[in-house]
């Protein structure tokens, strides 16, 4: 029987549901056969990541399948691939990523793309929606397709962002909102220092701290001084020639994304009620944080940023309003995934390293 569709969107949706509806049929098998993905089967250097053909995932009733257009190689991907984790976190790292080998062979913590099919109970998204999403430690975004729960951290892409920019919204943006607002209780007029201001999390922290009305001091190396100023930093400390902990200034919040401003170095630069936000720290920072916080009015917060659909929508709004724009260092096609990892391994990326899927890089 031939069915007429009212518009191309309805037709696209019906076609995209067919493989799901007949998922045991030859048609479904052919339709879903395989996709390209960057896969790793053991921990190690960039070369352990290779592009392979893997099975295309199918959405369940409450899931959507997204045709991925872009993703990033984040510092999270670097840690999951190399198992280089902060001091004392080795066992925790293996528990998260896989005891003897990677549990999730496809890296990729964040993505942008277009909804390509939806499960029968999905009501929030429709085929054709442009979305970005945060996968966190669930990963899997370095692939042509990804299946996501409808209520996962996903939001629509604002019109003023490219797929490349949208793919880079979450990793830094989530850290910035979580640490500054939830844990830092940032207030207008406060003095905020961002140590490691030029990376993915640092560039987001600078922009979003400015949005909250803070007076921002950015700490970075010489080559990134102009960048962080352009992002809105009121003051810049070039750590190659100046030590922020020795200049006598006091800050209400110090966010450390570089791991070079631990408690013993930062405490005298905090105001009487100041908070040290440990974005990058070892196990001891996490364990000792509550003890150190009780000693005086100063606090240490060492935690892992949490993601949600609500937070993604907030980031989308900040981007739509021109308040937060991800900084992009380099863009690599999926085929050059090992080169992208090698660049991230230098530890000197500026903002985010983006991966484009064949649909964009063709
Ligand atoms: N707690 C959480 O929830 C959470 C979430 C996400 C990420 N993280 C962690 O946060 C860290 C940063 O992530 P990221 O993605 O922003 O990394 P990134 O993009 O690689 O940026 C790190 C930055 O640190 C700067 N840096 C290096 N040495 C420095 C120093 N001595 N003083 C000041 N800055 C220095 C570098 O800038 P220059 O080139 O200017 O030196 C670099 O841009 C990672 O280790 C990651 O694992 C934690």
Over the chain, what HEC string results? CCCCCCCHHHHHHHHHHHHHHCCCCHHHHHHHCEEEEEECCCCCCHHHCEEEEEECCCCCCCEEEEEEEEEECCHHHHHHHHCCCCCCCHHHHHHHHCCCCCCCCECCCEEEEEEEEECCCCCCCCCCCEEEEECHHHCCCCECEEEEECCCCEEECCCCCCHHHHHCCHHHHHHHHHHHHHHCCCCCCCEEEEECCCEHHHHHHHHHHHHCCCEEEEEECHHHHHHHHHCCCCEEEECCCCCHHHCCCCEEEEEECCCCCCHHHHHHHEEEEEEEEECCCCHHHHHHHHHHHHHCCCEEEECCCCCCHHHHHHHHHHHHCCCCCCCEEEEEEHHHHHHHHHHHHCCCCCEEEEEECHHHHC
Q: What pTM did the predictor assign?
A: 0.91
Q: Does residue 13 share a domain with residue 110?
A: yes
- Structural domain total, the chain: 2
Confidence (pLDDT) at 12: 41
Confidence (pLDDT) at 33: 83
Q: Does residue 146 share a domain with residue 15?
A: yes
CATH code for the domain in which residue 17 is found:
3.90.180.10
Q: Does residue 231 share a domain with residue 203?
A: yes
Evaluate whether residue 320 is within a structural domain: no
Q: Does residue 288 share a domain with residue 205?
A: yes
Q: Does residue 185 share a domain with residue 163?
A: no
Confidence (pLDDT) at 27: 33
Q: Does residue 176 share a domain with residue 146?
A: no
Q: Please give the residue range of the domain that contains residue 198.
A: 171-302
Q: Does residue 250 share a domain with residue 273?
A: yes
Q: Does residue 284 share a domain with residue 200?
A: yes
One pLDDT digit (tens) per residue for the chain, 362 residues: 333 334 344 444 444 434 333 343 333 333 558 999 999 999 999 999 999 999 999 999 999 999 999 999 999 999 999 998 888 888 888 998 999 999 999 999 999 999 999 999 999 999 999 999 999 999 999 999 999 999 999 999 999 999 999 999 999 999 999 999 999 999 999 999 999 999 999 999 999 999 999 999 999 999 999 999 999 999 999 999 999 999 999 999 999 999 999 999 999 999 999 999 999 998 888 788 778 887 778 999 999 999 999 999 999 999 999 999 999 999 999 999 999 999 999 998 999 999 999 877 65
> What are phi and psi for residue 268, nearest 5 degrees?
-75, -10
Residue 353: strand pairing partners: 330
User: Would the CB of 304 count as within 6 Å of ligand 1?
Assistant: yes
CB 279 within 8 A of CB 221: no
Residue in 86, 174, 183, 201 to alter for ligand 1 test, most ligand atoms within 8 A of Cβ: 201
Confidence (pLDDT) at 361: 64
CA 17 to centroid of ligand 1, rounded, Å: 42
Q: Does residue 198 share a domain with residue 133?
A: no
Ligand 1, atom 46, residue with closest C-alpha: 75
Evaluate whether residue 351 is within a structural domain: yes
Residue in 85, 256, 257 to alter for ligand 1 test, most ligand atoms within 8 A of Cβ: 257
Q: Does residue 164 share a domain with residue 205?
A: no
């Amino acid at each position: 029987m031939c069915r007429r569709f009212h518009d191309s969107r309805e037709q696209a949706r019906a076609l995209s549901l067919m493989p799901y509806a007949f998922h045991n049929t030859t048609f479904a098998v052919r339709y879903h056969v395989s996709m390209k993905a960057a896969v790793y089967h053991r921990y190690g250097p960039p070369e352990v990541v290779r592009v392979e053909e893997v099975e295309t995932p199918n959405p369940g009733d409450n899931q959507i399948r997204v045709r991925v257009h872009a993703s990033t190689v984040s510092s999270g991907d670097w840690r999951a691939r190399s198992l280089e984790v902060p001091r004392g976190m080795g066992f925790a790292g293996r528990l998260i990523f896989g005891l003897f080998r990677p549990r999730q062979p496809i890296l990729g913590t964040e993505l942008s793309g277009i909804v390509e099919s939806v499960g029968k109970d999905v009501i929030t998204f429709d085929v054709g929606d442009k979305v970005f999403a945060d996968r966190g430690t669930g990963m899997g975004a370095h692939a042509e397709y990804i299946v996501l729960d409808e209520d996962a951290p996903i939001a629509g892409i604002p019109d003023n962002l490219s797929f490349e920019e949208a793919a880079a919204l979450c990793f830094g943006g989530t850290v910035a909102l979580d640490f500054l607002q939830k844990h830092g209780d940032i207030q207008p007029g406060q003095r905020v220092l961002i140590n490691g201001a030029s990376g993915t999390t640092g560039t987001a922290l600078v922009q979003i701290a400015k949005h909250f009305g803070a007076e921002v001091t950015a700490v970075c190396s010489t080559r990134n001084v102009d960048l962080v100023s352009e992002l809105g930093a009121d003051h810049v400390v070039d750590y190659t020639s100046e030590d922020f902990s020795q200049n006598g200034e006091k800050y209400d919040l110090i966010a450390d994304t570089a791991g070079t401003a631990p408690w013993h170095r930062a405490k005298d630069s905090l105001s009487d009620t100041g908070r040290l936000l440990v974005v990058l720290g070892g196990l001891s920072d996490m364990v000792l944080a509550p003890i150190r916080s009780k000693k005086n009015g100063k606090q240490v917060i060492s935690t892992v940023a949490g993601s949600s659909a609500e937070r993604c929508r907030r980031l989308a709004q900040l981007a739509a309003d021109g308040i937060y724009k991800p900084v992009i260092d380099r863009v690599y096609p999926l085929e050059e995934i090992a080169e992208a990892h090698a660049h991230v391994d230098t530890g000197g990326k500026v903002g985010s390293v983006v991966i484009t899927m064949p649909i964009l890089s063709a």
